[in-house]
Every structure is written in structure tokens, then in C-alpha cells.
Amino acid sequence: MRLSVLFPRSLRSAPAETDVAGHQLLLRAGYVRQLTAGIFSALPLGARALHRIEAIVREEMDAIGGQEVLLPVVHPAELWQQSGRWQAIGEELVRFRDRGGRDMVLAMTHEEVITDLARREITSYRQLPLCLYQIQTKFRDEPRPRAGLLRAREFAMKDAYTLDLDLAGLRVQYARHYTAYHRIFSRCGLTDLLAVESDAGMMGGTVAHEFMVPSPIGEDVLVVCDHCGLAANRQVARFVKPAPAAEAPAPLERVATPGAATIEDLTRLLGIGPERTAKVVFFSADLGPGAEPAASAAGAATSPGTARPAAREVLVMALVRGDMEVEETKLTNLVGARWLRPADSERIRAAGAEPGYASPVGLRPGAVMVVADDLVAASPNLVAGANREGIHLRNVNCGRDFEPDRVGDIAAAAAGAPCPRCGAALALRRGVEVGNIFQLGTRYSEPMGATYSDAEGVLHPVVMGSYGIGIGRILACVAEAHRDDRGLRLPLAVAPFAVHLVRLGGSSAEVDGAADRLVAELADAGVDVLDDDRDVAPGVKFADADLLGMPLRATVSPRSLAGGGVELRRRDADDSQVVALGGAAASVQGRLDELRAEAARLVVSPGYPAPGPG
RNA sequence: CGGGAAGUAGCUCAGUCAGGUUAGAGUGCACGGUUCGGGACCGUGAGGUCGGCGGUUCGAAUCCGCCCUUCCCGACCA
């Protein structure tokens, strides 16, 4: 490829549309352009890089028995109504009607379509197990796209689905994906990777892992144990809670606490530690359309329009100890809500509580769903509000003074909390989710009726798994991880071209002759070369070579020829070497082999369960 | 959806507070010349519904109102 005709030009200054360094470089170097919020065009360099990533994904998916398919982007609403997600998913699922007035959706994932295929095509146990995958566009109308390709609304995703006879079969395929995913990410140059236990979220199912690239620009908070390797998304991370004080319940007493509406004020006023208090946080929870989440209710309960059943909102009072924070995902899962949002003061007062002085003690039964963290339930003699401004209660005891509707772990793991496995101090880290794997079980096959008959002719629901990889996110993470102040520094496996050829010295016949010969020889050898044939100053060429980020630079100039031939320089090195003109192509291949060997040493394929989750 | 910031040339930005000739700079682009190993230099030129609509005013990029878009923080999220 000649740089003189490559679309588009590089930019000298970064467009002001983000402050994420890796994304700025992808913009400046001309890999991508933003069309509108969260929607991007991949330009020639970006498209090539994405294709390189996809090729790696295909190799590894094929290696574990995956069969590639290509599924539709537009689905009839019926499928999503049958799975229940037409109701369960909010505005991020784009709905529209076709000209015939049928409700349609833009695919944000493909469990429904796969399950539909399975129920039509799979009849016998002899057809299983199966692993189908595709690389295809997803659309999710994210409320807040950010950081370029990191959180886009439209993006390419590799999604795989396994179909098995039973849980044992699912576990086998799940473990294969676990290993394959490590290989995929490490081959792409994302060698710093954590597989963490995660929330199943809208996918449903039970066991799930997310593959996280640690990075300060990440949106997820990871709880990791550097001692034993345990790692989890903070949304589900367990930790050892301190033992409650060993004392007998004391009589309840009122105490005047004017102006102490926060835990901080309260502890100062009363001279106690925050661990002696109960903190109340109110949420409005949508418990969904009703008891029937799926199949039967779906079709009938939904009006022909795009309307969805109204939210069933309840006020939730979450109780954690004063020295802890509520983890909203844990709370959401415990109460079985579709979503939570902070409750407003009006709603809180209507339930008989007083913001800042709220507690479950003496509340009208049924006015609010009281959810207590297990530590609060076990802790004696806490200070809590009296539901009257300026007054708190001492010696509040769960079970005696109030009865929670739910008790469970709803507290967020904090840095330094003991690891539930080995007891060492846990650390918090931010990460970017580049992939995830879910054991769905029969979450979709049951409501949608995807069954097979076993050897005895008995029908069973197909047992499913679902496995995603964000192709664009990989590129974004690679750009973020492999760069310096001059530009990108891409790994050979992902770079659009292996070699960036810099021709200097104007239209010197000697230079062009040597460069042309090198290009031809490399082309014969199947090496992708980006040939800077432009008539611009050397500084411009070198600056662009650094910006665009190909792993190996070859310079042909009067100076290099006088020095013996072609100058080779790795993008990640400070020094260069001149190699003989005659063997230049072989020398280039030697360097590329060297890069490949280095990368190969970084490829990991851990078995499951890995050192981490357990 | 809540909070904050911004929208002026392809890109990065000044100008807006305090209304007043023909709206500027850098960079990029075109042309000519010089130069040729780290975004070099000189000259000439093209390039603008000042996000949109409405209002105030003799006069609006500038003041007021409404709207749109983008970015950041939060909420949300495979």
C-alpha cells in the first residue's frame, strides 16, 4: 500500500472529541472517525487492524470446534417477547416497526435467534454438542457512550453460543472458551489480563466470567487478591466481613442528634466509630412486569405497539453498616429488580421515613422493602435513625426492633478487606471488559422451547452458554496499552501492516530502485508493506511512521545506501541497524520472526479453573 | 435521566464578559520558489449559514429565550 494514496491523511492535532490517549491516536493516525455519539467508521488502517483481530478470533474459535455463522441484525419482536427480554430490557434495545406494522428490534445480542435455530433444527441428542459463532454488528443504545471505541453504541462483536445435552457438557465448552479467550487476548498483545467472576446481568444464567484489561480508563472496578489470585467484578465480589461486636442487646434508647444527618456528623457527635451505626440508602426498584418473567406471559401481556408493561416500582431501604457502601448490583440481584435508582425525598417521606434520620424501626409494615446486609443483621446495638429529624436511636437490633424483608450480602468490597479465600488484603483496580462468558443453562431454551430427545426418547431443554468478545474494544485496549508520546506502537499481530517503508532523498533513482526491489521481494514473501512514497520532508515521514505505529520501519535513503543498504528499526526500540541491500528482504523477515517469537512467548492458555477464580 | 463544559475555516483554538468597518491565528490544503535524516523556510491563494430557530436592538458570533449536537462526571450498562 502506498501512503500517497492511503485514505485519509493523518492529523497533526487530535480532534477534541475525547481525552483518552489511545483513542486520540487512533483518530490522529486515521484508523477511525466518529460519525455521531458512539458510532464509528473504521477507515482503511482501522479496518485492516480489526480484520487482523478477527482473524485471530476465528483461528481460536475454530480450534475449539466453533462453526461460523452469520445471523441477522433485525429480529422480529416475537422472539424477544418469548425470551422475556422485550420486557426486561429498557431503552438500550432499539425497537421499531417495519412497513407492515410488525414490531422489530435491532440485535444487541443473539441468544434468541440461536435458540430459535436450535428449536427448529435440533431434535436429537446425536446433534449435540455444538458451538456456533459469528462476528457481526451489534447495536445497543447506550445511555452514555464514552472513550471512543471503548463504549460504543454500534460495534462489532464476536458472539458464540454453545448447545449441550447437559450441564457437564456446558462446563466442558465453557472451559474451552476460558482457555481460548486467554489465547485470543494474549495473541492480540493484551498480555495483562484478568478473568474475573462477574454478574450475569441481562444475559441471565448463573456462572459468568469477564475478561478484563486492567486500565485506569476502565469503567469496571475489579476486586483482586494479589496473594491468591482471586479476582471478581466489584458488583459481585465477596469479602470477609468483620466479626460483629460480641455483646448482648441493650435496651433501645432515643438520643437527640440535631443536624447530624450524615454518618460522619453522627459519629463525631456521639463519639463512636462508623461501624457502630447502620446506614440507610433508599432506592426505587423496578421489580418488572410481574411474577411471570417469560414465555407464556410475554405475547399476551404486550400490546401490539412498542409499549412495554409499566414498571412495578417499590421503595427499597438498603441497610449497611456505617463504614460500608451499598453495592447496587448485589442489591439488585437480591431483590430481583430490573433496575434501581436513587429514591427522592418525597417518596421516602411518604413511606414514613425521614431522609438523614431514616431507619427501619417503627415503619409501617409494607410501606417499604427493607433489605439488610448480613453484617447489619448480625451486629448488636447499632445507632440508627428514629425517622424524626434530629433524633437517632441507640441499641437497634435486627430481629428485635425491626424485621428485614431480605437479608444478604449487599455491601461493596473495599480496598484492604480480607480475601474470602486466603484472607490477604484485597485491592481495587479498574478494568476494561473485553470479553465475557456465561453459563446460560436453560434460561432461553426453556421459555422458547428448544428441546432434544435423548436416547430413550425423552425431551430435554438444550443447555446453553454464551460467549462475547468486543472486537473494537480489543483495538481500543491495544491502542491504549501499546503507545508512546509519538504515537501507536502496535503488536505485529494487530498492526495493519508489518513494515512501514520510508523512502528519502526525493526521486533519486538509486533510492527508488532499491526501495522498489525491497517492496517487490516482501510482496512475494507475503509481507504487508506500507510504502511512504510521498514527496514530503523526512521529518514528516518519520513522524507519521511513529504515529501510525507499524512494528518495523525500513528506511531507504542515500544515507542508508551509503551505509551499506537499508536501515531497520523496531517501533519499540531506540536504535536501528543497517542491513545489506541484497539481503534486505530476508533481514526484514528475520526481524518479523523475532517479533513473532517474542509475541508467542507471551501467549497464555491456562486451563479452567485458572489460578484466579475458584 | 441528574450535574458540568463546549459548539466560530478540514483540525486545534482566539474573539463573546463590555454589541459597532470586510470575523482572526496556528496548522492543514492549493500554487510558486528554496530545502531534503525528525512535522524546515519564503511568498501567494482558496477556505466561514460564527450549531439551529425566534427575540431585543439603528446594528448580534457577542445580549435574552427555546431547541439540537458533542464531550466530561454520575446514574445506567454483556
Q: What is the CATH number of the domain that holds A542?
A: 3.40.50.800
Q: How far apart are CA A571 and CA A214, in angstroms?
A: 24
Residue A480 CB lies within 7 Å of the nucleic strand B? no
Higher pLDDT among residues A407 and A600, named by residue? A600
Instruction: Answer yes or no: do A467 and A491 share one domain.
Output: no
Q: How far apart are CA A110 and CA A128, in angstroms?
A: 19
Selection from A250-264, A394-408, A441-455 with the highest mean pLDDT: A441-455
Q: How far apart are CA A355 and CA A281, in angstroms?
A: 9
What's the pLDDT score for residue A289? Answer: 57
Q: Is A68 helix (H, G, I), strand (E, B) or coil?
A: strand
pLDDT tens across A217-276, in order? 888 899 988 888 888 888 888 898 888 888 888 888 888 888 777 787 788 777 888 888
Residue A243 contacts residue A255 (beta carbons within 8 Å):
no
pLDDT tens across A107-124, in order? 999 999 999 999 999 999
Instruction: Answer yes or no: do A213 and A67 share one domain.
Output: yes
Residues 6+ apart with CB under 8 A from A46: A26, A30, A31, A32, A475, A496
Q: Is residue A89 part of a domain?
A: yes
The identity of residue A163, as a single letter, is L
| pLDDT of A70 over the 50 cut | yes
| Alpha-carbon distances of A75 from A111, A119, A163, A307, A398, rounded to whole Å | 11, 16, 21, 17, 50
Instruction: Answer yes or no: do A393 and A259 share one domain.
Output: yes
pLDDT tens across A40-57, in order? 999 999 999 999 999 999
Residue A102 contacts residue A76 (beta carbons within 8 Å):
yes
Q: Is residue A4 part of a domain?
A: no
Residue A119 contacts residue A451 (beta carbons within 8 Å):
yes
Task: Report the 3 state secondary structure along A343-404.
Answer: CCHHHHHHCCCCCCCCCCCCCCCCCCEEEEEHHHHHCCCEEEEEEECCEEEEEECECCCECC
Q: Give the DSSP letter of residue A58.
A: H
Residue A276 CB lies within 7 Å of the nucleic strand B? no
Separation between the CA of A290 and the C1’ of B8 (whole angstroms) = 53
Work out how many domains chain A is built from and give that number. 3
Higher pLDDT among residues A482 and A421, named by residue? A482
Residue nearest to nucleotide B38 (CA to C1'): A539
Chain Cα centroid distance, residue A337: 21
Model confidence at A459, pLDDT cuts 50, 70, 90, reads very high
Q: What strands lie across the sheet with A529-532, from one edge to the other?
A: A529-532, A499-503, A552-556, A565-570, A577-580
What's the pLDDT score for residue A303? Answer: 35
Residue A136 contacts residue A71 (beta carbons within 8 Å):
yes
- Please state the rounded mean pLDDT for residues A467-483: 95
pLDDT tens across A21-30, in order? 999 999 999 9
Separation between the CA of A179 and the C1’ of B75 (whole angstroms) = 35
Instruction: Answer yes or no: do A114 and A145 share one domain.
Output: yes
For chain A, the distance separating the N- and C-terminal CA atoms, rounded to the nearest angstrom, is: 49
Q: Is residue A570 part of a domain?
A: yes
Mean predicted lDDT score pLDDT of chain A: 87
What's the pLDDT score for residue A206? Answer: 67
User: What dihedral angle (degrees, nearest 10) is formed by the CA atoms of A237, A314, A343, A401?
Assistant: -80
The identity of residue A268, as a single letter, is R
Q: How far apart are CA A613 and CA A231, in angstroms?
A: 6
* Residues written for chain A: 614
A137 closest CA partner among A495, A479, A471, A466? A471
Residue A140 CB lies within 7 Å of the nucleic strand B? yes
Q: How far apart are CA A161 and CA A70, in angstroms?
A: 12
A450 closest CA partner among A73, A66, A79, A64? A79
Instruction: Answer yes or no: do A476 and A591 share one domain.
Output: no
- Please state the rounded mean pLDDT for residues A451-464: 95
pLDDT tens across A312-363, in order? 678 888 888 888 888 888 888 887 777 777 777 777 777 777 777 888 887 7
Other Cβ atoms closer than 10 A to A465? 26
Residue nearest to nucleotide B40 (CA to C1'): A537
* A493 grid coordinates: 499481530
| pLDDT of A498 over the 90 cut | yes
Chain Cα centroid distance, residue A369: 31
DSSP for A487-524, please give it: EE---TTT-S-SEEEEE-STT-HHHHHHHHHHHHHHHH
Q: What is the CATH number of the domain that holds A100?
A: 3.30.930.10
Instruction: Answer yes or no: do A51 and A189 share one domain.
Output: yes
Residues 6+ apart with CB under 8 A from A399: A377
Residue A327 CB lies within 7 Å of the nucleic strand B? no
| pLDDT of A611 over the 70 cut | no
Model confidence at A203, pLDDT cuts 50, 70, 90, reads low
Q: Is residue A265 part of a domain?
A: yes
* DSSP-assigned beta bridge partners for residue A392: A255, A385
Higher pLDDT among residues A129 and A318, named by residue? A129
ipTM: 0.92
Q: Is residue A32 part of a domain?
A: no
| pLDDT of A310 over the 60 cut | no
- Range of A502's domain? 487-601
Residues 6+ apart with CB under 8 A from A449: A119, A295
What's the pLDDT score for residue A54? Answer: 97
Residue A596 contacts residue A552 (beta carbons within 8 Å):
no
Model confidence at A201, pLDDT cuts 50, 70, 90, reads low
| A526: exposed, middle or buried (Cβ count in 10 Å: 0-12, 13-18, 19+) | exposed
Model confidence at A457, pLDDT cuts 50, 70, 90, reads very high
Instruction: Answer yes or no: do A470 and A497 share one domain.
Output: no
| pLDDT of A205 over the 50 cut | yes
Q: Is residue A247 part of a domain?
A: no
Residue A495 CB lies within 7 Å of the nucleic strand B? no
Helix (H) or strand (E) holding A339: strand A339-342
Residue A393 contacts residue A400 (beta carbons within 8 Å):
no
What's the pLDDT score for residue A524? Answer: 96
What's the pLDDT score for residue A299? Answer: 34
Selection from A83-87, A312-316, A509-513, A520-524 with the highest mean pLDDT: A520-524
Residue A215 CB lies within 7 Å of the nucleic strand B? no
On the CB side of A335, CA atoms within 13 Å amount to 31
Other Cβ atoms closer than 10 A to A593? 11
Between residue 520 and residue 559 of chain A, the positions with Cβ below 7 Å from nucleic chain B are 537-540, 542-547, 555, 557-559
pLDDT tens across A140-196, in order? 998 889 889 999 999 999 999 999 999 999 999 999 999 999 999 999 999 989 888
Angle between helices A44-63 and A167-187 (to 10 degrees): 140
Given its phi and psi angles, is residue A453 left (phi above 0), alpha (psi -120 to 50 degrees) or beta? beta
Instruction: Answer yes or no: do A446 and A496 share one domain.
Output: no
| A228: exposed, middle or buried (Cβ count in 10 Å: 0-12, 13-18, 19+) | middle
| pLDDT of A592 over the 60 cut | yes
Which of A285-299, A342-356, A484-498 has the lowest average pLDDT? A285-299
Other Cβ atoms closer than 10 A to A274? 15
- Please state the rounded mean pLDDT for residues A284-301: 48
Q: Is residue A421 part of a domain?
A: no
Instruction: Answer yes or no: do A193 and A292 share one domain.
Output: no
Separation between the CA of A279 and the C1’ of B7 (whole angstroms) = 43
| pLDDT of A71 over the 90 cut | yes
What's the pLDDT score for residue A323? Answer: 85
DSSP for A562-574, please give it: HTTEEEEEETT-S
Residue A87 CB lies within 7 Å of the nucleic strand B? no
Instruction: Answer yes or no: do A440 and A404 share one domain.
Output: no
Model confidence at A128, pLDDT cuts 50, 70, 90, reads very high
Instruction: Answer yes or no: do A375 and A476 share one domain.
Output: no
* DSSP-assigned beta bridge partners for residue A531: A2, A501
Model confidence at A548, pLDDT cuts 50, 70, 90, reads very high
Question: Which bases of chain B come closer than 7 Å to a protein CB?
Answer: 1-2, 10-13, 26-29, 35-40, 69-78
Q: Is residue A552 part of a domain?
A: yes
Instruction: Answer yes or no: do A79 and A155 share one domain.
Output: yes
